[in-house]
């Protein structure tokens, strides 16, 4: 596995542990829909939470959460819609972003709840 892929998987595990600690129930991790992946699908307080995890080493570039652009949002929303239809889910959906940064051997995590809305088309 490429080093950046291993870093991303580790970041997802850190984010998943954080969500579990906060009382979220993890429904899926790395769920695929037509070559598009949802990092984490969770449930919390009656909501379905679709979580995009962005992991980096240090802060030398843009903040990880800034990598969730319009194209990425469109892919996430389409995949989430597929998941919801496939599982016949009748619950509100929220889109979160979790930024995970490895800095001096420590993980720094930032959770952006309700980070974006599904674009209207």
All domains of the chain, ordered by start, with CATH?
A: 9-61+69-92+102-116 (3.40.1350.10)
pLDDT per position as a tens digit, 20-71:
999 999 999 999 988 789 999 999 999 999 999 999 887 777 788 988 999 9
How far apart CA 72 and CA 78 sit, in angstroms, is 10
What is this structure's pTM? 0.90
pLDDT per position as a tens digit, 105-114:
899 999 999 9
How far apart CA 80 and CA 58 sit, in angstroms, is 30
Task: Name all contacts of 65-71 with Cβ < 8 Å and 24+ positions apart.
Answer: 65/97, 65/99, 65/110, 65/112, 65/115, 68/97, 68/115, 68/116, 70/119
How far apart CA 43 and CA 90 sit, in angstroms, is 12
């Amino acid at each position: 596995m490429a080093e950046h892929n291993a870093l991303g998987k580790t970041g997802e595990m850190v984010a998943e542990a954080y969500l579990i600690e906060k009382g979220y129930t993890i429904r899926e991790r790395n769920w695929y829909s037509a070559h598009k992946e949802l990092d984490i699908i969770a449930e919390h307080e009656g909501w379905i939470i679709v979580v995009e995890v962005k992991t980096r080493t240090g802060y030398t570039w843009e903040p990880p959460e800034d990598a969730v652009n319009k194209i990425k949002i469109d892919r996430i929303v389409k995949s989430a819609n597929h998941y919801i239809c496939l599982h016949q889910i009748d619950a509100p959906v929220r889109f979160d972003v979790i930024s995970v940064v490895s800095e001096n051997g420590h993980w720094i995590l930032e959770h952006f709840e309700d980070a974006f809305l599904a674009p209207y088309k």
